Amino acid sequence: MHLGPLTRLSDDEQMFVNEVEKFAASTIKPKVMEMDESEKMDKSVIDGLFEMGLMGIEAATEYGGAGGSFFMSILAIEALAKVDPSVSVLCDVQNTLVNNIFYRYANAEQRKKYLPRLVSKEVGSYCLTEPNSGSDAFAMKARAHDEGSHWRLEGKKIFITNAKEANIFVVFANTNPEIGYKGITAFVCERGMPGFSVGKKEVKLGIRASSTCEVILDNVKVPKENVVGEVGKGYKIAIETLNEGRIGIAAQMLGLAQGALSGAMTYARQRVQFGKELRDFQGVQFELADLATQVEAAKLMVYNAARLKDAGLPFVKEAAMAKLYVGDVAEEVASRALEIYGGYGFIKEFPAEKFYRDAKIGKLYEGTSNMQKATIFKLIDGQMK
């Protein structure tokens, strides 16, 4: 278990962050605005993530992964988001959701078949949300019919991250709606299966290079061996995975806030008004000091939740608190940092407006802020009884 200040990194952790930041600066940063405008992830960026080992950080070395910790995944997600939150969430979903499901819940054959592909060359996607089941994710209509020799899946998923780039999909469907969430089961589907298709790509306010698509299940024939875990255990798999995923989203928003703050700090050194740099005005100093304090508090919450998870200690409350608080901080910092630029903050020549647009999603996906509040209250209420 980590000892000492929560935000102090070990030498190995700091070296890892340095390498990720170098990659982000050299490979991602030059393409950020082009990817945002085209609403498309550059293939060289995806290839670079695989080459850097950032798509299999926790996966065991026997599968080609880095054999790292959950905390290292969080550090990578944070570092990438300082430059582009769109790239960060691609890495986040791969590590904290898709890969996580395989090395925690899949059997030996499934891990051997899919993890080497996921860590080396193929993007994964997590398919839970449906048109009529958002926060109430388990009111799902997607059905899985037992056909004896195989399962037949039918339904539609929406708002599916990484769907455009993915080849491997973890799909949740209900085998028996009459028993509610107890029928929900996780299945592995692959691009190219008859009846499986990726539908329209959503046009979004922010994280535009990150694909968000429909996934259509038109009587998809899925082998029996593609059930992850046990039939009826999909609810448990989804809930437990999303608990960890919330820390990943909090890390993404933390990196975003740091990127926005760093940009404002740089601009305050460059911009001269009334014969002085902006940073020489006390009002600007106080504003930046306030934002830096919020970012530091956010970092403490994210790192605390991640270290608790790695230590095998309860972390669900802390994960929900981190996502709730850091989502607020990211939006606040991005907005106020933009104002440091004045009118320049409103144009695309500077990164402020993109960080501002990207920040909003942090309060919406992988559990809205209100859902985090409901989780937090339930847990603190139970502690006080």
Active-site residue (options: 78, 214, 244, 366) = 366
Any idea which residue has 């014969």 for tokens? Answer: 275
Contact 197, 174 (CB under 8 A): no
**CA 290 to mean position of chain CA atoms:** 27
Give the residue among 119, 375, 106, 124 at the shortest CA–CA distance from 239: 375
**CA 352 to mean position of chain CA atoms:** 21
Contact 301, 321 (CB under 8 A): yes
At 17, is the secondary structure helix, strand, or coil? helix
At 137, is the secondary structure helix, strand, or coil? coil
Cβ partners under 8 Å of residue 157, min gap 6: 127, 128, 129, 130, 142, 171, 214, 215, 217
Contact 96, 248 (CB under 8 A): yes
Contact 265, 295 (CB under 8 A): no
Q: Beta partners for 154?
A: 143, 218
**CA 2 to mean position of chain CA atoms:** 24
Structure tokens at 201: 């790509």
Tell me phi and psi for residue 158, to 5 degrees: -130, 165
* 366 has catalytic annotation: yes
Catalytic residue numbers, as ranges: 366
